[in-house]
Amino acid sequence: MHSTLTEHARCLYGDGPRPTPGCDREHEEFYFVEQLTFADADAILAMLRELCPQYIDGYLPVWIRNLSYRLLLLQRPDEPDLMREAALNLEFHGPDWDPIAAELRQRADALDPS
């Protein structure tokens, strides 16, 4: 078993120029999604920071990023900077999520107008 969420994601999705770490187990995406579902906010943020340091690119599939931000905001519902970051991520990946991004920005501005 992988010791961290980041390690599990790196094994499953790769890490760009770095070689994918060797692993002695077969990877099934649903095991990773289960681990992500029950991960704490710090572990999710660490994974996003490590594997998607630039908002526009990264090695996690867009749907995994969206799920990650959703889970983060459920755990940290009153963090305007995190809401803005999630909104930015949604805006980068298609107009389908623009209304959700706008709502996140409105909620963030209501908490912290600066």
pLDDT in tens, 28-51: 889 899 999 999 999 999 999 988
Where along the chain do its domains lie?
5-111
Question: What's the pTM?
Answer: 0.88
Sign of the torsion formed by the C-alpha atoms of 44, 50, 51 and 57:
positive
Report d(CA 94, CA 17) in Å as an integer: 26
The single-letter DSSP state of residue 76 is -
Report d(CA 82, CA 25) in Å as an integer: 34
Q: Residues 42-78: pLDDT tens digits?
A: 999 999 998 887 766 677 898 999 999 999 999 999 9
Comparing 23-27, 28-32, 63-67, 94-98, which segment has the lowest mean pLDDT?
A: 23-27
